[in-house]
Amino acid sequence: MLWPHKDLLCISQLTPAEILHVFEMARRFAEINSRPIKKVPTLKGKTVVLFFVEPSTRTKTSFDIAGKRLSADTYSLTASTSSLRKGENLKDSALTLQAMHPDALVLRHQQSGAAAFLARRLSCSVINAGDGWHAHPTQALLDGFTLSEIWGEAMTGKNILIVGDIAHSRVARSDVQLFTSLGMNVRLCAPKTLLPSGVDGWPVEVVPDLTAASRGMDAVICLRLQLERQQAGLLPDLREYARHFGLTAAHLRLANPGVRVMHPGPMNRGVEIDAALADGEQSLILDQVSAGVATRMALLFLYLTRKDQTGEE
């Protein structure tokens, strides 16, 4: 497949065929990760800047490992190590980076739309590693890849429940787009204060009671509850939240046999997910992390070899 996209900003850019192609590529790259020598020369000579304005450890590490395993040179910048700290605005920071001719810029930013903002102004590929509450497409792709490794072709028609703070979750928005695009049924469970405005118009079912919502599910994705939501008055306290929206083994007994549990991390054990459940045999949480490296290898490959494939340049 000739990859037609310069940037990865959100899942709605991708067709179902393109999503499945990413899975296929990730599957091939996953094999490299199990070799004793985990490095291939595929992206030798390519430069990837990891520009993480919003702090993140796991996503940055995942991209860093993915790039290095493909022999790309990766450079890491954070808000505190960049000139943003000196009052430089995002546009100038990005143009400065661009002048050093990277092949791709991986951006994590606390503002929705930051990736699109840079993509319009930079000639290199921009990979959105999470922008505000808007999108986290690489997370959605790794979630989808994780499930496709289990379900294979049978993904269509599976029932997926996303529980927690949907309103402020870029993971939820991207997951909903990806799963519905592949023909899965998505159900959301959250108190109204944590649902996005206009959710009635989304292609999902909203079930506010977790017990009822768990019935008939094939996978449950728990979202991290940011502790500041309580300070913002969106919920009374963590204890009450955990009692009503924390996933437990009892919920899973109502789900379909073989139900899987996922979490994009980092977890608040005992809040959105029962502590033991996270380590249980139904948990895919660590598989997600492994899948993350393979998926990001696939994405770096697709976006960094795009020009060579199409004969541009």
Partner 1 sequence: MSGPDLIVNNALWQGDMVDVWVDQGRILRFAPVGEVGPVCRKIDGHGALLLPGLVDGHVHLREPGFEYKEDIASGLAAAAGGGFRAVLAMANTNPVNDSAAVTTFMLDQAFRSHPHGPLLHPVGALTRNLEGQELAPLAELSEAGCKALSNDGMPVSNPDLFRRALEYASDLGLPVIDHCEDPHLATGAVMNEGRVSGLMGLKGQPVVAESLHVARDILMAEYLNLPVHLAHISCRQSVELIAWAKQRGVRITAETCPHYLLWTEDMVEGYNTLAKVNPPLRTADDVEALRQAVRQGIIDILVTDHAPHADHEKEAPMDDAPNGISGLDTALSLSWTLVQRGILVLDDLCRLWSRRPAEIFSLRKNSLAPGDPADFLLFDPDATWTVTPQILRSKGKNTPCLGQTLPGRVRLNVVDGHTVFHDATVP
Contacts of 44 (CB under 8 A, 6+ apart): 71, 72
Q: Which is nearer to partner 1, 32 or 116 (CB)?
A: 116
Verify binding: residue 135, partner 1, rule CB under 8 A: yes
Please identify which residue in 28, 44, 91, 253 interacts with partner 1, judged by CB under 8 A: 91
CB of 105 to partner 1, least distance (A): 15
Please identify which residue in 108, 134, 158, 224 interacts with partner 1, judged by CB under 8 A: 134
Question: How many helical (H) and strand (E) elements, i.e. helices and strands, does the chain have?
Answer: 12, 9
Look up residue 22 and give its two tokens: 């990413």
For the segment 151-210, give every residue that binds partner 1 (CB under 8 A): 167, 170, 173, 196-199, 201-202
Contact 161, 189 (CB under 8 A): yes
Residue 44 CA, chain-centre distance (Å), reads 26
CB of 240 to partner 1, least distance (A): 23
CB of 195 to partner 1, least distance (A): 9
- In whole angstroms, what is the distance from residue 202 CA to residue 11 CA? 15
Name the one range near partner 1 by CB under 8 A: 30-38, 84-92, 257-265, 283-291: 84-92
Please identify which residue in 42, 76, 78, 112 interacts with partner 1, judged by CB under 8 A: 112
Contacts of 227 (CB under 8 A, 6+ apart): 238, 268
Burial zone of 66 (CB within 10 Å; 0-12 exposed, 13-18 middle, 19+ buried): buried
Count of residues that bind partner 1 according to CB under 8 A: 24
Q: Enumerate binding residues for partner 1 (CB under 8 A).
A: 89-91, 109, 111-114, 116-117, 131-135, 167, 170, 173, 196-199, 201-202
